[in-house]
Structure formats: structure tokens, C-alpha cells
Amino acid sequence: MKKIASIMAALVLMCAFAFAAPQESTAAPDNVGIYLIEDFNSGYEEFASVSTLPGFWSWCYSAMGWPAADAYIEMGEMCIYSNGSDAFYFDSAKGGAPKEEVANAEYIGFHVNSNLDQEILIGFFGCGDVDKKAEGESGFQMVKDNSLPEDAVVTYAAYVITDDGEVMATRNNPDRVTLPPNFKGYVVYDINDYKNNWVSSEEDNNIDLSKTSIKTIGLNINANDVDVDSYLSFDNFFICGEGVTNQPGDIATTEDYVQLDASMFYGVDINSLDNISPYPDQGGTVTPPADDETPAPTENNDATAPAETAGETAAPTATQNGGDAESAGFPTWAWIVIAVAVVAIIVVIAVVAGKKNKGADDNK
């Protein structure tokens, strides 16, 4: 009886671990590629201030007259040493991504190295060719679809792949996505969460990816208390998708970070992964990320006015806060399977005990 009970207990544990583990990706199709947009390895002077680079635009400086993010290109990375809340971009010296690649993009991401003991809010921020807006070139920003009702709840999610190789998610974020303190790894967004911020609030702001390139790269970020010790650095901006040319460059060969492969996230159900954001999946109290003295601009800042030049690009906006939880976490059906297994143990024990008692009676 003890042997049978031990076997059944082992089966229960196997069920628990099997169903609690995130669902693994099916093998990514052979033609899924990672295309490196920018790795900061060439085309920049060492210790170059981002504010001096061609195509530079900052919401804080250009739109509000405040100091821009204090960012520099150093040792193959873009580092922010102060003024950690801004939305800014600049021309990619590597050339960005042409329309032919963006047309097939499904994800966009970059590497983050945070030395900050606080959460950060972050999203990609960039644009195509501002001189070809009439041809469909667009600005990229995580904002709400203009076709949705004003009171529509919008939340955002992203894959996070740590430098230890752990694959998780940040979900239910009402504005960009939240990364935890001292996060080191890649953040990977669904590119369809990005809308065109070069149109007015009355226009369709969905991006036709077949008509736009990505010429400038940057960040829409809120981070408190960034300084030379608690600095942030960013690297390896990329797009990924089926039909995208596989030119990962340093992403696949670096020894400084995890070597990212599309199979780590492509095809993985994001709701099956552990949620590291402060916004819970199934009810509970929300702990909002820390705000900054220089908060990200809101929709009341006339953010959706069309941009006539690169310097008049629409300011970043915060989406409406939402509490709708995505269905995720440990699935209910897994608990049911475990419960059934437990019942099976009880039944087996009862049957064995019954047989033992019957045998004892027969021997009387």
C-alpha cells in the first residue's frame, strides 16, 4: 500500500510541476528572423551626447522646455545618467530598419541594463522618415487606438527575457510596460501595440507596417532618481517576425547578455508566463509604479496634433488606467487535474485497505 501511495504522490507532484510551468514555445518557423536595428558599435563618437546626434528630438526639451534625458553613447551602449523621464529619439547610425523588413515585423525590442533600485516604465519611441508621412511613414508610440471609445480600457504586455535566460512577462500595464528594479535582460513588445503618433485624435492611428521604415530609435521612459551610480543602459534594438531577414548581429553572439533567440518568445502564450509587473492578473491590490517629478505627458498635452517636422513630433501620452486583468497565472484546469489525482490516491488507499481487511477476515 505504501508503495502504491508513493507512486500516486509522485504522479501528483509531476502534474503540479507540469501544469505550473510556463508553456514552452513551439519551434519558431524557419523563416522567423531577428533583424538588428542598432547596437551602438559604430557610427558614433565615444561619449557622444545623444542630444547632439542627428535627428534628435526630446519631449521634455522640445515640447516643454525642460532638460532632456542626459544620455550618452558609451562603449557600445546608450546610457542615461540623469533626467530619467523623457521621450526622445535620434537617427540610428546603423540605418534602422527599411520598409521591407518592418513590413514583416511582429515584435520590437531592446536590451535593458538597470542599476536602479526602482521600477521603470518604458516603451520604444521612434519613427520612420518624417519627409514621407504622406506615403505612410509613421511615428511609433504605445498609445490607444483612436477607434476605441474614450472610456475603453487599454493594457499592455511584453515578454521579458533575463540575462539568466528566464522567460517571463510584464502584463496589465496601463501605460507602456513596467520593469522591476535592477532588471537586466531583453524586453520584447508586440509591434501592433504601437500606433502612429503623427496623426490627430480623429484619424486612424494604426500603422501600415508595409509603408514605413524605422529611421530613428529612442525611448519613452519614466525612471526616478537616475544618477551616475544608478544609471540605465540600453543596447541591441531589433525587430522580429516571420519573413524578417535573420541578421541578429551581436544579439546572437554577445557574451555580455543572454544570447537571444526567437524561439525563446515567438509562439509562447504570454499569459502562461509569470507576471513581473505590479498589476495583478486576477484581482488583488494594484501597486502603481513610482511616478517621476517629470511625469510622462498625458492626453491633455495635445499629444495627438499632427507633426509637420521632426521637431514637432507628437508628444508621448499615457493611456487610460485600466484594471481589467488578463486571464493568466496557474490555470484552474491544472488544479482540477491535481484534485482528481488526489482523489485517486484516496480511492487506491481505500481499495488496498479493503483488500487487506478482507484477507485478514479470510484468515480467521
3-state secondary structure the chain: CHHHHHHHHHHHHHHHHHHHCCCCCCCCCCCEEEEEEECCCCCCCCCEEHHHCCCCEEHHHHHCCCCCCEEEEECCEEEEEECCCEEEEEECCCCCECHHHHCCCCEEEEEEEECCCCCEEEEECEECCHHHHHHCCCEEECCCCCCCCCCCCCCEEEEEEECCCCEEEEEEECCCEEECCCCEEEEEEEHHHCEECCCCCCCCCCCCHHHCCECEEEEEEECCCCCCCCCEEEEEEEEEEECCCCECCHHHHCCCCCCCCHHHCCCCCHHHCCECCCCCCCCCCCCCCCCCCCCCCCHHHCCCCCCCCHHHCCCCCCCCCCCCCCCCCCCHHHHHHHHHHHHHHHHHHHHHHHHHHHHHHHCC
pLDDT on residue 29: 82
Average pLDDT over residues 121-139: 98
Phi first, then psi: give them for residue 121, nearest 5 degrees: -100, 130
pLDDT confidence bin for 332, thresholds 50/70/90: very low
pLDDT at 189 over 50: yes
**pLDDT over 90 (residue 198):** yes
Mean pLDDT of 331-344: 51
In the prediction, which pLDDT does 345 show?
61
Q: Give the three cell numbers for residue 21.
A: 510551468
CA dihedral for 112, 191, 24, 252, sign (positive or negative) = negative
The overall average pLDDT reported for the chain is 82
Residue type for position 155: T
**Alpha carbon distance 199, 292 (integer Å):** 27
Average pLDDT over residues 183-187: 99
Does the model's pTM come out above 0.85? no
Over the stretch 283-312, which tens digit does the pLDDT of each residue have? 444 444 444 444 444 333 333 333 444 444
Which cell is 79 given? 546610457
Task: For the beta carbon of residue 278, count every other beta carbon within 10 angstroms.
Answer: 17
Residue 13 has pLDDT above 80, yes or no: no
290: phi then psi, degrees, rounded to nearest 5? -60, 140
The x, y and z cell numbers of residue 65, run together, are 522646455
Q: How many other CB atoms are found less than 10 A from the CB of residue 200?
A: 12
CA distance 257 to 112: 10
Percentage of the chain modeled with pLDDT above 90: 68
Identify which has the larger pLDDT, 353 or 212. 212
Cβ contacts of 13 within 8 Å, gap of 6 or more: none
The least confident of 65-69, 162-166, 229-233, 312-316 is 312-316
Residue type, 140: F
Query: What percent of the chain is modeled with pLDDT above 70?
Result: 70
